[in-house]
Amino acid sequence: MVADICSLLEEELLPAGPGGHALPVVVKVTTDCKFFASGSFQGVTGDISRVSHKCIRQMTDGRWFARTEWYVNFPCNDISQNERAFGLTCLVGFPQLQGANDCTHMAIRAPPDQPGACVSPKGFHPISVQLVCKHKKRFMQVCARFHGSSHDAFILWQSNIPDLFVPGTSLKGWLLGNKGYPLQTWLVTPLRNPTSNEQQERHNANHMSTRCVTEQAIGMLKMHFRCLDRSGGALRGSLG
Protein backbone atom coordinates (compact mmCIF):
# COMPACT_ATOMS: atom_id res chain seq x y z
CA MET A 1 0.00 0.00 0.00
CA VAL A 2 2.77 2.48 0.93
CA ALA A 3 4.65 1.60 -2.24
CA ASP A 4 1.51 2.23 -4.31
CA ILE A 5 1.00 5.66 -2.72
CA CYS A 6 4.64 6.58 -3.25
CA SER A 7 4.42 5.59 -6.90
CA LEU A 8 1.20 7.54 -7.35
CA LEU A 9 2.48 10.78 -5.80
CA GLU A 10 6.21 10.56 -6.48
CA GLU A 11 6.40 13.29 -9.14
CA GLU A 12 4.39 15.77 -7.06
CA LEU A 13 6.28 15.15 -3.81
CA LEU A 14 9.77 15.46 -5.23
CA PRO A 15 11.53 18.77 -4.38
CA ALA A 16 10.78 21.63 -6.78
CA GLY A 17 14.44 22.66 -7.18
CA PRO A 18 18.01 21.46 -6.57
CA GLY A 19 19.89 21.69 -3.30
CA GLY A 20 18.70 21.56 0.30
CA HIS A 21 17.83 18.51 2.32
CA ALA A 22 14.47 17.45 0.90
CA LEU A 23 12.80 14.50 2.52
CA PRO A 24 12.54 11.31 0.46
CA VAL A 25 9.07 10.60 -0.89
CA VAL A 26 8.74 7.46 1.21
CA VAL A 27 9.42 9.47 4.40
CA LYS A 28 6.75 11.99 3.49
CA VAL A 29 4.20 9.27 2.77
CA THR A 30 4.90 7.23 5.90
CA THR A 31 4.88 10.40 8.03
CA ASP A 32 1.43 11.24 6.71
CA CYS A 33 0.19 7.70 7.24
CA LYS A 34 1.41 7.85 10.85
CA PHE A 35 -0.44 11.12 11.38
CA PHE A 36 -3.66 9.79 9.83
CA ALA A 37 -3.48 6.68 12.01
CA SER A 38 -2.60 8.40 15.30
CA GLY A 39 -4.32 11.77 14.97
CA SER A 40 -1.45 13.52 16.78
CA PHE A 41 1.28 14.91 14.55
CA GLN A 42 3.18 16.76 17.27
CA GLY A 43 2.75 14.07 19.91
CA VAL A 44 3.72 11.02 17.88
CA THR A 45 4.73 11.63 14.30
CA GLY A 46 6.94 14.63 15.00
CA ASP A 47 8.81 12.81 17.75
CA ILE A 48 9.54 9.88 15.49
CA SER A 49 10.40 11.50 12.18
CA ARG A 50 11.55 14.99 13.31
CA VAL A 51 9.79 16.72 10.43
CA SER A 52 7.63 19.82 10.30
CA HIS A 53 3.91 20.06 9.70
CA LYS A 54 4.64 21.24 6.15
CA CYS A 55 5.08 17.62 5.18
CA ILE A 56 1.47 16.93 6.17
CA ARG A 57 0.16 19.98 4.34
CA GLN A 58 2.05 19.09 1.18
CA MET A 59 0.22 15.78 1.04
CA THR A 60 -3.24 16.94 2.03
CA ASP A 61 -3.42 20.30 0.22
CA GLY A 62 -4.52 19.22 -3.21
CA ARG A 63 -2.72 15.88 -3.56
CA TRP A 64 -5.40 13.72 -2.04
CA PHE A 65 -8.33 16.04 -2.71
CA ALA A 66 -7.59 16.12 -6.44
CA ARG A 67 -7.88 12.34 -6.56
CA THR A 68 -10.98 11.94 -4.40
CA GLU A 69 -13.22 10.96 -7.30
CA TRP A 70 -10.89 8.11 -8.16
CA TYR A 71 -11.93 6.33 -4.99
CA VAL A 72 -15.09 8.03 -3.71
CA ASN A 73 -17.69 8.13 -6.47
CA PHE A 74 -21.35 7.33 -7.13
CA PRO A 75 -21.44 5.58 -10.52
CA CYS A 76 -24.88 5.57 -12.16
CA ASN A 77 -24.38 2.97 -14.87
CA ASP A 78 -26.71 -0.04 -14.87
CA ILE A 79 -24.07 -2.51 -13.70
CA SER A 80 -23.19 -0.41 -10.63
CA GLN A 81 -26.84 0.21 -9.78
CA ASN A 82 -27.70 -3.48 -9.99
CA GLU A 83 -24.67 -4.40 -7.86
CA ARG A 84 -25.62 -1.95 -5.11
CA ALA A 85 -29.29 -2.92 -5.19
CA PHE A 86 -28.51 -6.65 -5.01
CA GLY A 87 -25.98 -6.23 -2.21
CA LEU A 88 -28.28 -4.15 0.00
CA THR A 89 -31.35 -6.27 -0.73
CA CYS A 90 -29.46 -9.34 0.47
CA LEU A 91 -29.15 -7.78 3.93
CA VAL A 92 -32.80 -7.70 4.98
CA GLY A 93 -34.82 -7.55 1.75
CA PHE A 94 -35.18 -3.81 1.04
CA PRO A 95 -35.54 -3.60 -2.78
CA GLN A 96 -33.86 -1.18 -5.20
CA LEU A 97 -31.66 0.49 -2.61
CA GLN A 98 -28.68 2.48 -3.86
CA GLY A 99 -27.10 3.28 -0.50
CA ALA A 100 -27.56 4.73 2.98
CA ASN A 101 -26.48 8.14 4.22
CA ASP A 102 -25.65 9.60 7.61
CA CYS A 103 -23.77 12.50 9.20
CA THR A 104 -21.02 12.35 11.79
CA HIS A 105 -19.03 14.94 13.73
CA MET A 106 -15.27 15.30 13.34
CA ALA A 107 -13.29 17.56 15.66
CA ILE A 108 -11.33 20.54 14.29
CA ARG A 109 -9.39 23.29 16.00
CA ALA A 110 -11.44 26.23 17.29
CA PRO A 111 -12.05 28.95 14.65
CA PRO A 112 -9.51 31.73 15.47
CA ASP A 113 -12.01 34.51 14.78
CA GLN A 114 -14.88 32.93 16.74
CA PRO A 115 -13.43 30.39 19.19
CA GLY A 116 -16.72 30.09 21.07
CA ALA A 117 -18.83 29.41 18.01
CA CYS A 118 -20.22 26.02 17.04
CA VAL A 119 -19.17 24.12 20.14
CA SER A 120 -20.91 20.76 20.37
CA PRO A 121 -22.68 19.63 23.56
CA LYS A 122 -19.69 17.35 24.11
CA GLY A 123 -17.35 20.34 24.37
CA PHE A 124 -15.41 20.32 21.08
CA HIS A 125 -15.54 22.18 17.76
CA PRO A 126 -16.80 19.83 15.05
CA ILE A 127 -17.55 19.81 11.38
CA SER A 128 -20.52 17.74 10.28
CA VAL A 129 -19.60 15.27 7.54
CA GLN A 130 -22.23 13.59 5.39
CA LEU A 131 -21.30 10.17 4.06
CA VAL A 132 -23.18 7.87 1.67
CA CYS A 133 -22.24 4.22 1.80
CA LYS A 134 -23.07 1.08 -0.15
CA HIS A 135 -23.34 -2.52 1.00
CA LYS A 136 -19.57 -3.16 0.99
CA LYS A 137 -19.07 -0.36 3.55
CA ARG A 138 -17.47 1.69 0.81
CA PHE A 139 -18.17 5.42 0.71
CA MET A 140 -19.64 6.82 -2.49
CA GLN A 141 -20.13 10.48 -1.52
CA VAL A 142 -18.64 12.83 1.06
CA CYS A 143 -19.76 16.36 1.96
CA ALA A 144 -17.45 17.92 4.58
CA ARG A 145 -17.84 21.71 4.44
CA PHE A 146 -20.31 22.66 7.17
CA HIS A 147 -20.01 23.36 10.89
CA GLY A 148 -21.30 20.82 13.36
CA SER A 149 -24.30 23.02 14.12
CA SER A 150 -25.64 22.43 10.60
CA HIS A 151 -28.70 20.18 10.44
CA ASP A 152 -28.39 16.88 8.58
CA ALA A 153 -31.22 17.82 6.22
CA PHE A 154 -29.55 21.15 5.36
CA ILE A 155 -26.29 19.40 4.46
CA LEU A 156 -28.18 16.89 2.32
CA TRP A 157 -29.78 19.63 0.22
CA GLN A 158 -26.46 21.45 -0.16
CA SER A 159 -24.72 18.30 -1.41
CA ASN A 160 -24.95 16.86 -4.91
CA ILE A 161 -27.06 13.88 -3.81
CA PRO A 162 -30.51 15.36 -4.66
CA ASP A 163 -29.30 16.13 -8.21
CA LEU A 164 -28.51 12.46 -8.76
CA PHE A 165 -32.16 11.53 -8.25
CA VAL A 166 -33.79 14.24 -10.38
CA PRO A 167 -36.56 12.68 -12.52
CA GLY A 168 -35.23 11.77 -15.92
CA THR A 169 -31.75 10.83 -14.75
CA SER A 170 -30.37 7.33 -15.13
CA LEU A 171 -30.26 6.63 -11.38
CA LYS A 172 -33.17 4.52 -10.15
CA GLY A 173 -34.11 3.43 -6.64
CA TRP A 174 -33.54 5.31 -3.40
CA LEU A 175 -31.40 5.89 -0.34
CA LEU A 176 -32.00 5.22 3.34
CA GLY A 177 -31.75 8.11 5.79
CA ASN A 178 -32.31 8.55 9.51
CA LYS A 179 -35.28 10.35 11.06
CA GLY A 180 -33.46 13.68 10.82
CA TYR A 181 -34.00 13.70 7.06
CA PRO A 182 -37.24 14.59 5.24
CA LEU A 183 -39.09 11.82 3.45
CA GLN A 184 -38.57 12.04 -0.32
CA THR A 185 -39.48 9.89 -3.30
CA TRP A 186 -35.79 8.90 -3.38
CA LEU A 187 -35.07 8.94 0.38
CA VAL A 188 -36.72 6.43 2.73
CA THR A 189 -36.81 7.35 6.41
CA PRO A 190 -38.10 5.38 9.41
CA LEU A 191 -41.72 5.81 10.45
CA ARG A 192 -41.82 8.38 13.24
CA ASN A 193 -44.84 6.95 15.08
CA PRO A 194 -45.23 3.31 14.15
CA THR A 195 -48.47 1.79 15.31
CA SER A 196 -48.92 -1.75 16.50
CA ASN A 197 -49.13 -2.68 12.83
CA GLU A 198 -46.61 -5.47 12.26
CA GLN A 199 -45.64 -4.19 8.82
CA GLN A 200 -44.70 -0.75 10.16
CA GLU A 201 -42.63 -2.22 12.95
CA ARG A 202 -40.90 -4.53 10.49
CA HIS A 203 -40.22 -1.58 8.18
CA ASN A 204 -38.42 0.30 10.97
CA ALA A 205 -36.49 -2.77 12.07
CA ASN A 206 -35.34 -3.55 8.53
CA HIS A 207 -34.55 0.11 7.93
CA MET A 208 -32.30 0.24 11.00
CA SER A 209 -30.58 -3.05 10.16
CA THR A 210 -29.77 -1.89 6.63
CA ARG A 211 -28.72 1.67 7.47
CA CYS A 212 -26.29 0.46 10.11
CA VAL A 213 -23.96 -0.37 7.21
CA THR A 214 -23.09 3.32 7.06
CA GLU A 215 -22.75 3.62 10.83
CA GLN A 216 -20.37 0.65 10.85
CA ALA A 217 -18.37 2.13 7.96
CA ILE A 218 -18.01 5.44 9.83
CA GLY A 219 -16.86 3.57 12.93
CA MET A 220 -14.25 1.69 10.90
CA LEU A 221 -13.08 4.93 9.27
CA LYS A 222 -12.48 6.62 12.62
CA MET A 223 -10.88 3.50 14.05
CA HIS A 224 -8.29 3.30 11.27
CA PHE A 225 -7.78 7.06 10.94
CA ARG A 226 -7.63 8.44 14.45
CA CYS A 227 -7.11 11.95 13.07
CA LEU A 228 -10.86 11.90 12.33
CA ASP A 229 -11.85 10.78 15.81
CA ARG A 230 -11.96 13.09 18.80
CA SER A 231 -9.93 10.60 20.82
CA GLY A 232 -7.02 11.39 18.50
CA GLY A 233 -7.28 15.13 19.07
CA ALA A 234 -8.58 17.81 16.71
CA LEU A 235 -7.65 18.18 13.08
CA ARG A 236 -5.23 21.04 12.49
CA GLY A 237 -7.41 22.34 9.67
CA SER A 238 -10.55 24.46 9.92
CA LEU A 239 -13.48 25.55 7.82
CA GLY A 240 -13.14 28.81 5.99
> To the nearest whole number, what is the mean pLDDT of the chain?
79
Q: Which residue has the higher pLDDT, 38 or 46?
A: 38
Closest of 199, 205, 208, 210 to residue 173, by C-alpha: 210
The C-alpha atoms of residue 239 and residue 164 are separated, in whole angstroms, by 26
Q: What is the pLDDT of residues 118-175, one digit of tens each?
A: 777 677 778 899 999 998 899 999 998 888 888 999 999 999 999 999 888 888 889 9
Q: Residue 119: its pLDDT value, please?
A: 73
Q: In angstroms, what CA-CA distances link 111 with 54, 106, 107, 124, 234?
A: 20, 14, 12, 11, 12
Residue percentage of the chain with pLDDT more than 70: 75
Q: What is the pLDDT of residue 131?
A: 94
172: CB partners within 8 A, 6+ apart: 81, 96, 98
So what's the pLDDT on residue 45?
47
Is 43 a residue whose pLDDT tops 60? Answer: no
Higher per-residue confidence, 8 vs 239: 8
Model pLDDT, residue 217: 93
Q: What's the whole-model pTM score? A: 0.77
Distance from C-alpha of 214 to C-alpha of 208, rounded to nearest angstrom: 10
Q: Report the 3 state secondary structure along 120-151.
A: CCCCCCEEEEEEEECCCCCEEEEEEEEECCCC
